[in-house]
Amino acid sequence: MAINETVLEMHYHKPLMDFFREAIGLGKRGVNFYKYSPQKEVFVGFDQAYAMTELSDDAFFEMLKESSTKADYKLPKKFLAVFLQFKVVKAMSNIQKITPPGITNKPHYRSKLDTAKNQNTGFSQHELLFKLNKNDGAMVFYACPMIFDKSLLYEVNVNLDKLVLVDVDSSPSQYSDNETHYIFFNDQEEPPVWCSDPVQGKRISVKELAEQMVNVLDDLDTTESSARVLKQLTHIRNLVESEQMGAPFGNELKERPFSIVHDSLMIIEVVENRV
């Protein structure tokens, strides 16, 4: 099994859901998760027992709209959208021409950013994440696992401490220049460095992300949290549809809006005061 972004996302999917459920739930909340399935073109929900439900785009939007306009007094729900885009990290044994001056260790580590424009959407993966990060309260990260041995993909007890989350909010640019760009790490503990023009970035742990989630959920009421996620999803839909409608004839609507974030987008539904 090769180490790639899809394999890494699958490797960490259940351990992350378990960790976030425990951190957010604290025995008082029911926590469900939604991921978008590009094959079925629906949002797939995972409840406490990992039983799956399916909601179309329109049904999911309607659920958010209803929650954002009125609170269910029996089981009030809150929502939170998090983007975790997994990247492959490579250990580099030599200093190369593209290595920034502050990176001196052997080995050091780097992840290549996807800055090539998608023919169907008109923007790259990084450009999309950079745009999404501009939304109010956005939580957008590159998930960079320090995994270099394929055998670790088969471990039963996944070590979340090996997962470094690089905050896209610290990125200096959307990198729309068609050049190659990277995230560098001098070692596995130091802050990341955005390149080509070196700029120090920000990293957090999975535990710190969970703490941020709890703080946001505590600060927002039911209608505010639902409205925020609705706005973020609407932004994705508008970005994709506006780009495709302006494409040459024959390219219209080749990409379903949420297919482009199916691997990074995780929507968390929290049912308050669950008995």
Nearest of 181, 185, 174 to residue 196 by alpha carbon: 181
Given this model, what pLDDT does residue 25 score?
Answer: 82
Residue 45, amino acid? G
Given this model, what pLDDT does residue 183 score?
Answer: 98
Given this model, what pLDDT does residue 156 score?
Answer: 87
Query: What is the token pair recorded at 61?
Result: 């939007």
pLDDT tens string 187-239: 999 999 999 889 999 999 999 999 999 999 999 998 999 999 999 999 999 98
